[in-house]
A and B are shown apart, each in its own frame.
Chain A
Amino acid sequence: MQLDNRTRDNLWTLISTPAVWGVHFLFCYFVAAYVCAPNTRIFEPIGGVRVAIALATLPALAFCAFAGIRATREWRAFRGDLPFDAPTAEDRERFLEFSTMLLAALSFVAIVFTALPALLVQDCR
């Protein structure tokens, strides 16, 4: 199967989704702590922070979905037997695609879990 715009995967594409997860995690915790740490008005709504987290979450999820779908398409196109550990360029490429797909799925779920409190909790409680 021939794929258009096929990429060559490397370690950077592999760690891109966990990196996005890490940045998103830090951002969410930083803005929530910045607003809530004074611990004085814990019952007041923090709408601004929740919107900021939503604005950070949507592109982060979109990136993970894009990276995951891309890696899945390329891995599916060429498939091959797991565990892709032969010392060849082809096996390395399959390994990177497969690992990127798994990491993208993990990062997607982790970003959802990080953002869920902001979706469900309306204030600093």
Chain B
Amino acid sequence: MRIALADPPMTAILALTRVPGFTGPIEEGQSSGMAGGPIRQGGQHRVSRGTSCSVRLGRSFKASPPLLLATLVLISGCRGPQSTFADAGLEASSVAALFWWMLGGAVLIWFFVIGLSVYATKAHPGAHSDKTGLRLIIWGGCVFPTVVLTILLVFGLQMMPDFRAPANGPRIAISGERFWWRVFYDSPAEPGVARSLPHEGIESANEIWLPVGRRTELLLGSPDVIHSFWVPAIAGKTDTIPGRINRLVVEPTREGLYNGVCAEFCGTAHAQMAFRVRVVSQEDYETYVAAQGQPAAVLDHPGLDAFLANGCGACHTVRGTEADGRVGPDLTHVASRETIGAGILAMNEANLARFISSTEHVKPGVQMPSFGVLPDEEIAAIAAWLGSLQ
């Protein structure tokens, strides 16, 4: 029996590798259909014997400017505050290292497969013997992938315990809620089965501060649907699941401001359920948390009156005032955050006013209704007051 190497899979591989510049026609040898494919003989499917097809590469692969440009644009997204390659956390660094190893392995395999196709079509275009084919399948299709997978498995397994080493830093509870993040510093929460995250500790929202070089324990829960907490620059993602409190221990290694996202589709505004993570020194972290524990800074302002008069306090808490709602984010120190609307708008008075008046337009799917019916002066006053809550 002979095995025709230029079988449909090989033809498919060559078809897939066609890029602008590759114009080589796939020519068929002796058979009329796909050479080497199953053809009917006497009512039985049999692998055709003694058939082969030669595949000729017309011109060699040529780099095309649009392709190069597109590649450069895509590669430019591999850095920045929302990239695993930012190298800002122990786990993210390991994941990035694993990625490079796997990429290297994949490139080697790609060259190996393409080398085989060139060998089978250019260097040795004729039909191959049964023994050669079997040897190729056993070594190339069985032994080689098994060895590669074993190496990757051992590599990955050795990484895992370090990611889950015990915490030696603060404990922060984070609740993924449609479509924002509730945060409690110094939380008493414990991982495991739980009805909900305990609403205890120093509350904040949509921004998480972490001390650099410490292993901080994040306890993740959700009161509504499954979300996924992900700060690509620092660590891998972990789901927040209603009825459970999951634990993620992160170890930031570089100070800076990073982006986090919800990585599990959770509803209309899922793509706008972001947050910021600021990695600071231990001293700055302690100062920040102590400040977050204080009541609101400005309690004598027309904006506060408008805020309370229009019922905002039914959903939002501003410690030190009558507003003690639990539905939306705690706004006690809202102006100290980088963003509003869960990472979607920069923090400033204009954006605060915009969010209040056109909430559903700015963030479709948000639970808060738009308050565009309020007089502009009231909206401006509320925005000015919120903008002063450092």
Interface residues of A (CB under 8 A from B): 39-40, 42-43, 81-83, 85, 105, 109, 112-113, 116-117, 120-123, 125
Q: Does the CB pair A42–B192 fall under 8 Å?
A: no
**Cβ contact within 8 Å between A121 and B154:** no
Is B150 positioned at the interface, with any CB of A under 8 Å from its CB?
A: yes
On B, residues with C-beta under 8 Å from A are: 1, 44, 47, 130, 142, 146, 149-150, 153-154, 157-158, 160-161, 164-166, 191-192
**In the complex, what residues of B have CB within 8 A of residue A40's CB?**
192
Contact between A125 and B153 (Cβ–Cβ < 8 Å)?
no
A125 and B161 form a contact (CB under 8 A): yes
- A122 CB contacts on chain B under 8 angstroms: 161
| Additional pairs, 13, CB under 8 Å, beyond known A81-B1, A116-B150 | A40-B192, A85-B44, A109-B146, A112-B150, A113-B150, A113-B153, A116-B154, A120-B154, A120-B158, A121-B157, A125-B160, A125-B161, A125-B164
**CB pair A105 B160 closer than 8 Å:** no
| Complex CA–CA separation, A112 to B147 (angstroms) | 12
User: Which of A85, A105, A120, A122 is the most central at the interface, judged by chain B CB atoms within 10 Å of its CB?
Assistant: A120
Please measure, in the bound complex, the distance between the C-alpha atom of A34 and the C-alpha atom of B1, giving whole angstroms. Answer: 52
In the bound assembly, the distance between CA atoms of A39 and B158 in angstroms comes to 21
Q: Is the CB of A39 within 8 A of B191?
A: yes
In this complex, what residue of B is CB-closest to A124? Answer: B164
What residues on B are CB-neighbors of A42 within 8 Å? 164
Contact B153 A116 (CB under 8 A): yes
Nearest Cβ on chain B to A81's Cβ, whole angstroms: 5
- Contact between A123 and B161 (Cβ–Cβ < 8 Å)? yes
Give, as a whole number of angstroms, the nearest-CB distance from B41 to chain A. 12
**Is the Cβ of B157 less than 8 Å from the Cβ of A116?**
yes
B243 → chain A, closest Cβ, in Å?
A: 14
Task: Considering the complex, give the chain A residue whose CB is closest to the CB of B133.
Answer: A82
Given contacts A39-B191, A39-B192, A125-B164, contact A82 B130 (CB under 8 A): yes
A-B contact pairs, 18 of them (CB 8 A): A39-B191, A39-B192, A42-B164, A43-B166, A81-B1, A85-B44, A105-B142, A112-B150, A113-B153, A116-B150, A116-B153, A120-B154, A120-B157, A121-B157, A123-B161, A125-B160, A125-B164, A125-B165
